[in-house]
Structure 1
Amino acid sequence: MQVTPLEIGFGAVIEGMDLRQVDSSTAALLRASLLEYGLLVIRGQSLTPQEQVAATNLFGQPEVFPVVRGQLSSWPEIFRVASQPADGHVEVGRYWHSDGSFRENPTPISFWYSVMQSEEGGDTLFTDLQQAYAELQPDIKEEFDTLRTAHRNGVVHPLVLRHPKTGERALYLNMGLTAGVLGYSPEQSRAVMEAVDRHYSRSGASYRHHWLPGDVVVADNLHVAHKATPLPASARRILNRTTVRADGVIWHEAQQAA
């Protein structure tokens, strides 16, 4: 297994890896790499739904989802993101967000497997939430450190979230599901959200992943956020996404594994 950091400053490419055949020491190295880099890119995989769920278990217990049109009835752990309604959920996440932020205990890890891809469009953008916080001006940090945001379902999170394993601070905000900032007027809330949105999108802060069939991307949702980009209307693409439960995540670093 070879780990090569991405030039953007976060994330890493993992080579020499078959996710169908991972021993305990390699699994520990994967988890340590995810903690360090926040994002793992593993190309050239060939996973059945069962094998994807097994690979997700390397990071913890998967969440399950209701089975609806386009989803896999035998695999409720897999949430299908697609360009066509018959294949899965469409028009998903075209704004900066971390998966599962609407939960009381946010979803810590997402795992995507590329089943089918269009040659054009559909790239996913990723940005480093910890670096986003680090680059704030001191007076903005002081303000943001005190703020809490409310999702539309009433779930409240601090705007500056500490990673449960590393303790690192991250600027944590879902642009599509957040109703506002507690104690702020709608206008003030909108101003904060628009400022964070611009900050996430600042020049040089995003990694753009162009999907190829067989790609796997694993994200620490408490370290990075992501954003989908449009596809041509005629395109057909499918991403199988699994996510890890907050109460079942495995954060152990390599040296802690037996």
Structure 2
Amino acid sequence: MNITPLPVGFGAEIDGFDMREADDSMAEQLRAALLQYGMLVIRGQSFTPPEQIAASQLFGSLETFPTMRGQLNGLPEIFRVASRPEDGHVEVGRYWHSDGSFREDPTPISFWYSEVQSEEGGDTLFTDLQRAYAELQPEIQQEFAGLTTAHRNGVVHPLVLRHPKTEVPALYLNIGLTAGVLGYSPDHSRALMEAVDRHYSRDGATYRHHWLPGDVVVADNLHVAHKATPITPQTRRILNRTTIRADGVIWANGVQKQAA
């Protein structure tokens, strides 16, 4: 197993091993690397859907999803994202977000496998939430550390969320699903979210992943956020996503909603 840090300052690329054959030592290396780097780009894998489920379970117990058009019957653990509706969910996540942030205990880890690739379009962007907080001006850090956001479904989270394992604070905001900041007017909330959106996308802060055959990406959703880019139905692309439950994640304690 070869682990090479990505040049953007977070994330690491891993090659030279088959996740289907991971022993306890390899699994521990993967878990440690995910905690250290926030995101893993694992090359050269080849999964059937059940094999992806098994590989995902190296990081914990999986969430499940209802069967819908484009999803795999009998495999509720896999959430398919695609360019065509017959293949999966389309036009989702085209804003900065962490998967499952709408949950009381948000989804800690996401795992994507590239089943069908496109030559153009459909890249995924990633940004480091811990670095995003660290690079704020001290007075803005102090302001943000006291704020709470509300999702459209009523779920609330601190704007600055400490990682339950590492205790590192992160700027945690779902740009598309957040209704506003508690105690702020709609205009003030909108201005803050727009500022955070720009901050996530600032020069040098993002990693752009173009999906190749056999690619797996694993993201610690409490450390990094991601954003889909456009793709048209004329180009076929399928990503199979599995996600780890907060009560079954490798660090085992769920998410502690503790502000910085």
TM-score by length of 1: 0.97
Cα offset, 1:3, TM superposition: 0.6
- 1:65 matched residue in structure 2: 65
State how far apart, in whole Å, the 1-side matches of 2:232 and 2:56 are: 30
Deviation for aligned residue 1:214? 1.2
Amino acid in the other structure paired with 2:174: N
1:1-258 equivalences under 5 Å are 1-251=1-251
Q: 1:251 to 1:14 in 2, by over 3 A?
A: farther
Match of 2:46, as an amino acid? Answer: S
CA distance in structure 2 between the aligned counterparts of 1:232 and 1:79, rounded to whole angstroms: 19
Question: What secondary structure sits across from 2:21 in the alignment?
Answer: coil
The answer as to whether partners of 1:35 and 1:251 remain within 8 angstroms in 2 is no
Runs of 5+ in structure 1 lacking a partner?
253-258
Alpha-carbon RMSD across the aligned residues, in angstroms, is 0.8
Determine the C-alpha separation between the residues in 2 that align with 1:8 and 1:52. Answer: 27
Contact in 2 for aligned 1:120/1:232 (Cα 8 Å): no
Cα deviations by residue, 1:89-138 (Å, 9 ceiling, x for unpaired): 00010000000000000000000000001100110000000000000001
Offset, 1:15: 1.2
Partners of 2:29 and 2:81 lie apart in 1 by 28
Shift of 1:172: 0.2
Q: Look up the SS of the partner of 1:85 in the other structure.
A: coil
Q: Structure 1 segments of 4 or more deviating over 3 A?
A: none
Distance in 2 between residues matched to 1:245 and 1:13, nearest whole Å: 24
Shift of the alpha carbon at 1:7?
0.4
Cα deviation for residue 232 of structure 1 reads: 3.2
Deviation at 1:77, TM superposition (A): 0.1
Give secondary structure in 2 for the equivalent of 1:100. coil
Distance, in Å, in 2 between the alignment partners of 1:163 and 1:79 is 25
Identity %: 77
In structure 1, distance between residues paired with 2:190 and 2:66: 32
Determine the structure 2 residue equivalent to 1:255.
none
Secondary structure of 1:193's aligned partner = helix
For the residues of structure 1 that align with 2:118 and 2:4, how far apart are their CA atoms?
26
Equivalent position SS for 1:86: coil
Distance 1:21 1:233 in 2: 35
Q: Aligned partner of 1:3: which letter?
A: I
TM-score (norm 2): 0.96
- Give the Å deviation of 1:231: 1.1
Q: Is the 8 A contact 1:116 1:239 kept in 2?
A: yes
- How big is the shift at 1:36? 0.1
Matched AA of 1:40: L
Deviation of the 1:222 alpha carbon: 0.1
Match of 1:97, as an amino acid?
H
Which secondary structure state, in structure 2, belongs to the residue aligned with residue 106 of structure 1? coil
* CA-to-aligned-CA distance 1:69-93 (integer Å, 9 cap, x gap): 0000111000000000000000010
Unaligned runs of 5+ in 2: 253-260
